[in-house]
């Protein structure tokens, strides 16, 4: 919309009509954007900030054609960091063989230097013998692929980043996100050693976006170091996060029936219903009021709902924020149940675009209608918040909006399961009011209203009149957080 907005002390104090574009006036500055439209700042409600910053030091394997091409790229450009070669982005589903790589090819090129290359979804690591040895793992017992929980010894063995490195990564990632029109990020799986750099940046006023941290709780990390909910305007410890299953691409997502392309497995359940219920109880007893559980497969989603049903039955369980991260494959019997339990579906629309062909193979025709079912969830009354899961996907909200609306996967000419697409207004709400609701901040952010935080994005066109292709071509002209310009062209 076109508007003239007046901002004082980081809040919207007046909204006046404007016929020619957007004007923003603060106590000290005036900004004019002729012909441009203003929207509430976008929220990415599921992301990994340090992971995005780390990618500057990783070798990208996203475009690799096969296993040998991966090794060639690693051999050509890899620069060891703290003695390790790090890479990310390989996807065997894009290779002609569709076979998982092995440690043997890495061993030939890197006989002595540890190498760890993360799959595109972050749920599988391809490593060489040197990396296995550093992790205390016997190479004869491993092909070179570690999935989900198997990665724990490896992750413990990789040298930690210094606080200075983490600070640099945070600033690089958040500045990039500001250029995408993002004014707030829900940062998932946050390690305790990252919190001090976040706190200092927030105190210094150098964070360009707001950050809501969801601390890693899969192994009760928050209890080990005594973390409790805390924070201010730009950085807040908002909730805890743990995992019910793995990812679909590595066949770690927990399904009720076997995988269509591998009947020997249903996936991997990482926590039982009883364990999730216990973790939720302990978190709430410590004061946490937002619980986020990763669940991709239909069996995992059902298990999480079983745990959340117990939470809602508790005397203090009616108001706690309950989130299912991803909620990619929801059985028809569980859609209305999610709504009745007031469970947020925290979805990443770009995953649908990236995963379509692979999902067809993993799920088979009979289960495809349950995949990425945003329309069904909204129609049932399930509240939706949107994110990207960066660095697995791009932080681009415009790409996410396009995916929400038209669901045309890469390499395809038509919409995939198009009946589950949603309208552009609903999509924008998922990235604004809906996303803010998943951390309990919708009462002061996500809308252009008097008294709300002056978090906003300026774009060169009316998003609600755009086609899916036009959304992709939209330019972010400026981003304001708390009334201060954080990015402009």
Q: What is the pLDDT along the chain (489 residues), one digit of tens a residue?
A: 899 999 999 999 999 999 999 999 999 999 999 999 999 999 999 999 999 998 877 888 989 999 999 999 999 876 777 889 999 999 998 899 999 999 999 999 999 999 999 998 888 999 999 999 999 999 989 999 999 889 999 999 998 888 999 999 999 999 999 999 999 999 999 998 999 999 999 999 999 999 999 999 987 888 877 788 888 999 999 999 999 999 999 999 999 999 999 999 999 999 999 999 999 999 999 999 999 999 999 999 999 999 999 999 999 999 999 999 999 999 999 999 999 999 999 999 999 999 999 999 999 999 999 999 999 999 999 999 999 999 999 999 999 999 999 999 877 778 999 999 999 999 999 999 999 999 999 999 999 999 999 999 999 999 999 999 999 999 999 999 999 999 999
| The pLDDT value given to residue 81 | 74
CB of 172 closer than 8 Å to CB of 50: no
DSSP, collapsed to helix, strand or coil, labels residue 96 as: coil
pLDDT of residue 57: 75
Tokens of 76: 């050509």
Question: What per-residue confidence (pLDDT) applies to 170?
Answer: 97
| Whole-structure pTM value | 0.90
| Cα–Cα distance list, 64 to 71, 119, 145 (Å) | 9, 12, 17
With vertex at residue 46, the alpha carbon angle to CA 371 and CA 329, rounded to the nearest 5 degrees, is 15
Give the domains, in start order, of the chain with CATH numbers.
83-157 (3.10.310.70), 163-447 (3.20.20.140)
pLDDT in the model for residue 78:
64
3-state helix, strand, coil in the chain (%, to 5): 35, 25, 40
Q: Which residue, among 83, 77, 86, 79, has the nearest Cα to 54 in the 3D structure?
A: 86
Query: d(Cα 180, Cα 343) in Å, to the nearest integer?
Result: 28
């Amino acid at each position: 919309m076109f508007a003239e907005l007046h901002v004082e002390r980081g809040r919207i104090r007046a909204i006046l009509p404007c016929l020619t574009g957007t004007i923003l006036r603060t106590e000290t500055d005036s900004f004019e954007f002729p012909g441009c439209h203003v929207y509430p700042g976008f929220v990415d409600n599921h992301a990994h900030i340090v992971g995005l910053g780390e990618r500057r030091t990783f070798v990208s394997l996203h475009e690799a054609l096969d296993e040998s091409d991966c090794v060639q790229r690693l051999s050509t450009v890899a620069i060891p960091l703290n003695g390790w070669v790090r890479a990310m982005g390989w996807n065997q589903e894009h290779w002609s063989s569709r076979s998982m790589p092995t440690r043997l090819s890495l061993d030939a090129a890197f006989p002595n230097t540890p190498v760890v290359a993360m799959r595109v979804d972050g749920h599988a690591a391809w490593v060489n013998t040197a990396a296995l040895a550093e992790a205390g793992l016997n190479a004869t017992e491993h092909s070179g692929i570690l999935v989900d929980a198997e990665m724990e010894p490896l992750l413990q063995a990789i040298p930690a980043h210094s606080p200075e490195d983490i600070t640099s990564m945070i600033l690089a990632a958040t500045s990039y996100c500001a250029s995408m029109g993002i004014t707030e990020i829900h940062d998932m799986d946050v390690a305790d050693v990252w919190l001090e750099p976040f706190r200092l940046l927030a105190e210094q006023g150098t964070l360009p976006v707001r950050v809501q941290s969801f601390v890693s709780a899969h192994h009760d990390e928050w209890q080990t170091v005594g973390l409790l909910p805390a924070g201010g305007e730009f950085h807040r410890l908002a909730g805890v996060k743990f995992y019910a299953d793995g990812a679909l691409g590595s066949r770690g997502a927990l399904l009720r029936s076997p995988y269509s392309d591998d009947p020997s497995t249903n996936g991997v359940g990482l926590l039982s219903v009883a364990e999730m219920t216990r973790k939720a109880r302990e978190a709430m007893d410590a004061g946490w009021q937002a619980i986020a559980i990763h669940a991709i497969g239909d069996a995992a989603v059902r298990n999480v709902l079983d745990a959340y049903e117990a939470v809602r039955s508790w005397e203090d369980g009616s108001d706690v924020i309950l989130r299912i991260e991803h909620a990619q494959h929801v059985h028809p019997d569980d859609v209305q149940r999610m709504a009745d339990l007031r469970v947020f579906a925290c979805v990443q629309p770009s995953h649908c675009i990236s995963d379509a062909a692979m999902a067809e193979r993993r799920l088979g025709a009979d289960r495809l209608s349950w995949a990425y079912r945003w329309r069904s969830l909204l129609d049932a009354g399930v509240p939706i918040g949107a994110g990207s899961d960066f660095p697995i996907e791009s932080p681009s909200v415009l790409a996410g909006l396009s995916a929400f609306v038209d669901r045309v996967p890469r390499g395809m000419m038509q919409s995939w399961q198009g009946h589950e697409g949603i309208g552009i207004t609903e999509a924008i709400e998922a990235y604004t009011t809906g996303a803010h609701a998943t951390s309990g901040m919708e009462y002061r952010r996500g809308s252009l209203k008097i008294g709300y935080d002056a978090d906003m994005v300026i774009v060169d066109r009316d998003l609600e009149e755009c086609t899916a292709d036009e959304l992709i071509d939209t330019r972010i002209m400026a981003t304001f957080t708390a009334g201060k310009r954080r990015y402009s062209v």
